[in-house]
């Protein structure tokens, strides 16, 4: 709680800089306005270190991505909340460090398409959506949303409508009547592909309804799966002895398998739904006198008076200081927590679940039906190989050559793990060109190593339905002054810093346009004239600059903010959160008592779907040198600031 004396001081400050007051009070929330929220619950007697660790990891993700939903009770936007249960326990896998079990739901492909279309907020979102399998008839219907009327309007009228919106139309096509509406119909797909973000933002997306209901894919031709219409070439196409193109339109070609958090991001379920979205299990293994890993129970027997922090396999140093080094004989807790939360958010491939079911079917000498493997995730739709690209489909096999692409396989952004050495729900263990890990969803972690959330991780989450914070701020500036006024009224310090960052990194022409809009927004919000509003903006920029200088607190370190205007934490004792993982592959086989592949459909067409663990193991090799990944620097100045450094902020403000 903020002391009343501090509130009076802030009220005095409010009279000097009204806009700044909204930002200062926003500091004392756990995360930025319009950020994704996390509700962590824990098993009884969970250590405070584990609790703090996950709070920190949640703050980090919240500073990177956002998602909101429309609350009908107030007709206002509210932050989406992800509910995660944390169990610090002995894992069934003796080498396991952590495992995530997202609660999974299935949705009809058509419903997924329409929700995804309405959720587009970035260029990458739009590019990814245009690469999805959508019927030609849908693209013709899409023309109507642009104002084209193929029945009543003449060709010239429709041509003018499209050209005014910036679309290029070829008036002469082979085998098509020239200067006729047939010319436009024949180019429906090309017009759809031309759609840019500005045109989309001017479109009433509620008028667009896609009715495509099936998709095709490359899958393994496995003897445990009974594929219908196996002998009909138009239904099943053989590529090689091990894979086929499944295009028979059965359940596994109609359903999308989503984590509940991902479904919330796409507005398929309510963003404030209180049901559990995921369960994360973390190993409570310990180190014995020889620094070998043993179970917690054995540790208690051997050393009942032992020191938990000294003997745990986890290093919690980066929970308070993300730039800290990790002990060479321990695993970084913060890296693991961030990684496991990433799975809960939607970094999941159904190929992993399919592989698990295949193993069970082989063991039990049973056969899987296609409805049993309706496990294609949103991430899988962006999973390609050279073979699948040539056939115009995504790749749902363990081919070992799959990669992330948001343009239908034309551009490879990063390789996925092959599903054999490591689960496909991760980046390739081989890393990038120089071998460095591609991001927090890297499948391997050794003792003494640490990983960071990278732009690649964020790009993937962005196209899955979330909004990168920088893109959110850019959208603020691209919208109307009235919309910007509304956003500024709840803007956090970090978000405001990003506004100034963007203003200083665009062309002079763009900067002038955005500054004019910003001035107008402040005039609207404070009911002041232009001169006063401009002074408020200048004072605010100076205020933020002073914060960056004065928050040093006599500590020597590098640049306070990275290119994304995220505060580089380097103080011991700055609270946050974290979780754990390591060698996050080798999933546990789903045991008899756990949810099976059966599903139940409710009245809204939402199915409870097969659920499984995405887990990790530790590296049993010689301890490597600590990974030189860039420091975290991503704790927002929010939760941790309230928890431990509000007094220092108070002293700073009162000296202004």
Tell me: the pLDDT tens digits for 150-208? 999 999 999 999 999 999 999 888 888 888 999 999 999 999 999 999 899 888 898 89
Paired tokens of 309: 């922090």
Q: How far apart are CA 316 and CA 580, in angstroms?
A: 10
Name the more confident of 31 and 538. Answer: 538
Lowest mean pLDDT among 110-124, 217-231, 377-391, 488-502: 488-502
What is the CB neighbour count within 10 angstroms for residue 627?
18
Give the model's pLDDT for residue 95.
67
Mean pLDDT computed over 504-518: 83
Angle between helices 333-345 and 48-64 (to 10 degrees): 50
To the nearest 5 percent, what fractions of the chain are helix, strand and coil?
A: 40, 15, 45
Residue 542 has pLDDT above 90, yes or no: no
- What confidence score (pLDDT) does residue 198 get? 87
- 498 with 514: CB under 8 angstroms? no
| Averaged pLDDT, 527-547 | 81
Q: What is the pLDDT of residue 235?
A: 84
Residue 423 scores a pLDDT above 80: yes
What is the pLDDT, as a whole number, of residue 440?
95
Whether 556 shows a pLDDT value over 60: the answer reads no
Under the banding of pLDDT at 50, 70 and 90, the label for residue 242 is confident
pLDDT at 641 exceeding the cut of 80: no
Interval 243-278: pLDDT, tens: 889 998 899 999 999 999 999 999 999 999 999 999
- Res 614 pLDDT > 70: no
**Contact residues for 497 (Cβ-Cβ < 8 A; gap 6+):** 544, 561, 565
Q: Where are the beta strands (DSSP E) in 236-366?
A: 236-238, 243-246, 255-259, 278-283, 286-287, 293-294, 314-315, 331-332
pLDDT for the residue 637: 25
Angle at 26 (CA atoms; ends 25, 30), nearest 5 degrees: 120
368 or 550, greater pLDDT = 368
The values of phi and psi at residue 323, to 5°, are -95, 0
The whole-chain average pLDDT of the chain stands at: 77
Q: Tell me how far the alpha carbon of residue 317 is from its chain's centroid.
A: 25
Tell me, what's the pLDDT at 546?
A: 66
Q: Which pLDDT value is given to residue 500?
A: 81
Percent of the chain exceeding pLDDT 90 equals 45
320-362 per-position pLDDT tens digit: 998 899 999 999 999 999 999 999 999 999 999 998 888 888 8
Mean pLDDT (whole number) for 487-514: 77
How far apart, in whole angstroms, are the C-alpha atoms of residue 585 and residue 97? 10
**Would you say residue 555 has pLDDT above 80?**
no
pLDDT confidence of residue 564: 27
pLDDT confidence tier of residue 644, bands split at 50, 70 and 90: very low
Is a pLDDT exceeding 60 seen at residue 1? no
Q: How many CB atoms lie within 10 A of CB 346?
A: 25
pLDDT at 218 over 60: yes
pTM of structure? 0.76
Over residues 100-116, mean pLDDT = 95
Region 567-592: what's the mean pLDDT? 24
Mean pLDDT of 440-461: 93
Q: Is the pLDDT of residue 573 over 70?
A: no
* Burial environment of residue 590 by CB neighbours within 10 A (0 to 12, 13 to 18, 19 or more): buried
| 138, 144 contact by CB (below 8 A) | no
Strands (E), 181-323: 217-220, 225-226, 236-238, 243-246, 255-259, 278-283, 286-287, 293-294, 314-315
**Residue 604: pLDDT band by 50, 70, 90 thresholds?**
very low
Task: Name which of 32-36, 118-122, 317-321, 504-508 the model is least confident about.
Answer: 32-36
What is the per-residue pLDDT for 37? 92
Instruction: Using alpha carbons, select from 599, 462, 623 the residue that is nearest to residue 104.
Output: 599
pLDDT value at position 560? Answer: 23
């Amino acid at each position: 709680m903020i002391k009343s004396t501090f509130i009076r001081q802030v009220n005095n400050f409010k009279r000097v800089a009204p806009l700044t007051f909204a930002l200062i009070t926003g500091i004392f929330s756990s995360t930025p306005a319009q950020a994704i929220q996390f509700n962590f619950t824990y098993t009884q007697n969970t250590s405070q270190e584990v609790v703090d660790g996950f709070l920190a990891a949640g703050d980090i993700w919240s500073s990177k991505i956002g998602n909101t939903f429309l609350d009908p009770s107030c007709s206002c936007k509210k932050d989406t909340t992800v509910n995660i249960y944390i169990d610090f326990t002995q894992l069934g896998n003796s080498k396991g460090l952590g495992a995530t079990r997202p609660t999974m739901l299935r949705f009809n492909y058509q419903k997924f398409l329409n929700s995804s279309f309405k959720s587009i907020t970035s260029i990458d979102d739009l590019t990814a959506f245009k690469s999805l399998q959508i019927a030609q008839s849908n693209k013709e219907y899409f023309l109507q949303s642009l104002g084209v009327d193929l029945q009543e309007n003449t060709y010239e009228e429709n041509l003018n409508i499209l050209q005014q919106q910036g679309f290029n139309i070829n008036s002469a096509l082979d085998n098509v009547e020239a200067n006729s509406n047939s010319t436009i119909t024949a180019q429906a797909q090309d017009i759809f592909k031309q759609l840019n973000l500005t045109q989309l933002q001017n479109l009433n997306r509620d008028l667009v309804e896609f009715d495509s209901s099936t998709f095709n894919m490359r899958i393994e031709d496995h003897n445990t799966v009974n594929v219908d219409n196996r002998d009909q070439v138009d239904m099943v196409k053989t590529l090689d002895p091990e894979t086929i193109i499944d295009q028979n339109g059965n359940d596994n070609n109609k359903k999308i398998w989503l984590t509940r958090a991902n479904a919330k991001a796409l507005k398929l379920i309510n963003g404030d739904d209180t049901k559990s979205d995921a369960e994360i299990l973390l190993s409570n293994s310990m180190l014995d006198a020889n620094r070998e890993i043993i179970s917690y129970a054995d540790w208690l027997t051997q050393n009942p008076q032992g020191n938990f922090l000294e003997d745990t396999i986890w290093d919690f140093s980066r929970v308070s200081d993300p730039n800290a080094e990790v002990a060479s004989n321990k695993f970084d807790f913060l890296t693991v927590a961030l990684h496991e939360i990433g799975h809960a958010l939607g970094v999941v491939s159904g190929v992993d679940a399919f592989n698990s079911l295949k193993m069970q079917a082989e063991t039990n000498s049973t056969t899987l039906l296609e409805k049993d493997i309706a496990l294609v995730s949103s991430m899988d739709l962006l999973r390609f190989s050279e073979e699948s690209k040539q056939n115009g489909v995504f790749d749902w096999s363990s081919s070992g050559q799959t990669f992330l692409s948001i343009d239908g396989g034309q551009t490879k952004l990063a390789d996925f793990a092959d599903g054999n050495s490591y689960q496909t729900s991760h980046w390739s263990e081989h890393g990038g060109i120089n071998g460095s890990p591609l991001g927090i969803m890297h499948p391997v972690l050794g003792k003494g190593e640490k990983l960071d959330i990278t732009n690649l991780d964020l790009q993937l989450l962005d196209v899955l339905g979330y909004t990168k914070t920088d893109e959110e701020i850019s959208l603020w500036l691209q919208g109307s002054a009235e919309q910007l006024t509304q956003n500024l009224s709840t803007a956090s310090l970090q978000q405001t810093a990003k506004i100034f960052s963007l203003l200083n990194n665009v062309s002079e022409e763009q900067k002038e346009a955005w500054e004019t809009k910003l001035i107008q927004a402040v005039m609207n919000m404070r009911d002041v004239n232009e001169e006063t509003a401009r002074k408020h903006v200048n004072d605010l920029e100076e205020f933020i600059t002073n914060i960056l200088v004065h928050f040093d607190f006599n500590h020597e370190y590098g640049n306070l903010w990275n290119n994304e205007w995220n505060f580089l934490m380097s103080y011991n004792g700055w609270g946050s959160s974290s979780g754990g993982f390591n060698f996050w592959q080798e999933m546990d086989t789903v045991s008899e008592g756990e949810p099976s592949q059966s599903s139940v459909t409710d009245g809204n067409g939402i199915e409870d779907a097969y659920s499984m663990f995405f887990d990790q193991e530790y590296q049993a090799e010689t301890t490597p040198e600590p990974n030189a990944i860039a420091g975290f620097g991503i704790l927002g100045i929010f939760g941790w600031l309230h928890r431990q450094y509000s007094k220092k902020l108070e002293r700073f403000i009162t000296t202004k």
